[in-house]
Amino acid sequence: MVRWGILGTGGIARVFADSLSRADSATLAGVASRDGDRAAAFVAPYPGAEAFGTYDDLLASPSIDVVYVATPQHRHADDALAVIGSGKHALIEKPLVLDSGSALAIDTAARDAGVIALEGMWTLFNPLVGRALDEVASGRLGALTSFSANTGPIGVPAGHRALTAELGASLLWECLVYPVAVLTAIAPEFATPNHIHAVSLMREKDFDFASAVLLATGTAFAQFGGAFSEGAGAAASSRVQLGFENGWMELTEIYNPSTLRIGWSDGRVEEHIADSDAVAFGYEIDAVSRAVSGVEALPDRVRLAQTIRNIALLEAIRAEALRLS
Ligand SMILES: NC(=O)c1ccc[n+]([C@@H]2O[C@H](COP(=O)([O-])OP(=O)(O)OC[C@H]3O[C@@H](n4cnc5c(N)ncnc54)[C@H](OP(=O)(O)O)[C@@H]3O)[C@@H](O)[C@H]2O)c1
């Protein structure tokens, strides 16, 4: 059993802890909060999990193998380096960090410490995404011609972390990191496109509230975008659609796709539905647990080298964006 610790007790930490409690290969060993009572309340439903009143206390514990960093993005770099410095493996929520320099520092530190560090881009662990990638790699659909994705209008309560500039708020880094990850996994040449066009509706410096992006290589284009919707309810559905020389592909939902449809040039449409027992973070937890126990290496698409390229692309998009205020 791989023993997991969690830094932070917010929304996604709860979903992750629930997935951990159902995993075969892993167990929730500890949770750290900046507040000891909050940590104690968090672990109450999980017998055997220890509560830590500081992040440092969890990192000092010999009973934890791998740490899931579930803090706001403005502190991912420092938290990740602290985990690595403690000699533990690190799974850091998306976006890994907010700049390339920090991503490279994490890579160097992880190599030096001999631990695994990666971004928790759960979409890339989804078996339907894996299936889509295998299909593209087989060449049967021919070359990619177009990629289109929207992340929907994302309903976020007023005052939420995702709308707080000091905590790293940005639609690009919060949400458009998903289409960037899927796009470059399918077509790595898009990591350094020939053309970048983007428009961002800015709230504050580096805080885009809405963004639209158009990228082009010599033979294909990709478009994706979305917007926050302050105070509104749950997000409308998202979608990824890809055109190829010999057909098309569609993933319903970009975050955790449940259906993959493939349309072939002879008129056939193939549909793959996710296993109904699929647990939110289960695939990611299993893959990382197998990797840290040396059972099976992580696929290239989730490795840090790929994430570093994606962060550089997000930086380039931000630099090129026409800013509207
Ligand atoms: N994979 C996904 O689908 C998904 C979905 C949502 C979010 N995320 C990512 O997960 C991370 C956490 O997001 P979340 O929505 O769970 O955030 P959240 O609900 O605001 O929780 C963040 C937690 O971080 C801790 N924290 C440490 N320093 C903090 C600070 N200065 N301000 C606020 N909280 C601080 C807090 O726990 P303590 O006070 O207990 O220490 C807090 O509960 C983000 O990077 C986000 O992008 C991923």
Encode pLDDT of 126-156 as tens digits: 999 999 999 999 999 999 999 999 988 899 9
Per-residue confidence at 237, pLDDT binned at 50, 70, 90? confident
> In testing the pocket of ligand 1, which one of 7, 9, 12 has its CB within 8 Å of the most ligand atoms?
12
* 164-204 per-position pLDDT tens digit: 999 999 999 999 999 999 999 999 999 999 999 999 999 99
If 0-12 CB within 10 Å is exposed, 13-18 middle and 19+ buried, where does residue 258 land?
Answer: middle
Per-residue confidence at 84, pLDDT binned at 50, 70, 90? very high
Structure confidence at residue 278 (pLDDT): 63
Structure confidence at residue 238 (pLDDT): 87
Rounded average pLDDT over 49-64: 98
Rounded to whole angstroms, the Cα distance separating 94 from 54 reads: 22
Residue 235, pLDDT > 90, answer no
* 277-291 per-position pLDDT tens digit: 667 799 999 999 999
Structure confidence at residue 146 (pLDDT): 98
Is the CB of 94 within 6 Å of ligand 1?
yes
**Closest Cα to atom 36 of ligand 1:** 8
Cα 138 to the center of its chain, rounded Å = 25
Q: How far is the CA of 161 from the centre of ligand 1 (A)?
A: 7
Is the CB of 167 within 6 Å of ligand 1?
yes
**Cis peptide bond prior to 72, omega within 30° of 0:** no
Is the CB of 174 within 6 Å of ligand 1?
yes
Q: How far is the CA of 245 from the centre of ligand 1 (A)?
A: 41
Residue 92, pLDDT > 80, answer yes
Rounded average pLDDT over 20-39: 96
Q: How far is the CA of 110 from the centre of ligand 1 (A)?
A: 23
Is the CB of 126 within 6 Å of ligand 1?
no
**Closest Cα to atom 44 of ligand 1:** 72
Q: How far is the CA of 258 from the centre of ligand 1 (A)?
A: 25
User: What is the CA angle 110-112-118, rounded to 5?
Assistant: 10
Rounded to whole angstroms, the Cα distance separating 25 from 2 reads: 6
Beta bridge partners of 211: 200, 226
**Closest Cα to atom 30 of ligand 1:** 72
Give the strands of the sheet with 26-32, arranged side by side: 50-52, 26-32, 2-7, 66-69, 89-93, 117-120
Cα 36 to the center of its chain, rounded Å = 28
Write the DSSP assignment of 126-178 as a string of letters. Answer: -HHHHHHHHHHHHTTT-SEEEEEEEEEEEEE-TT-GGG-GGGT--HIIIIIHH
Residue 236, pLDDT > 90, answer no
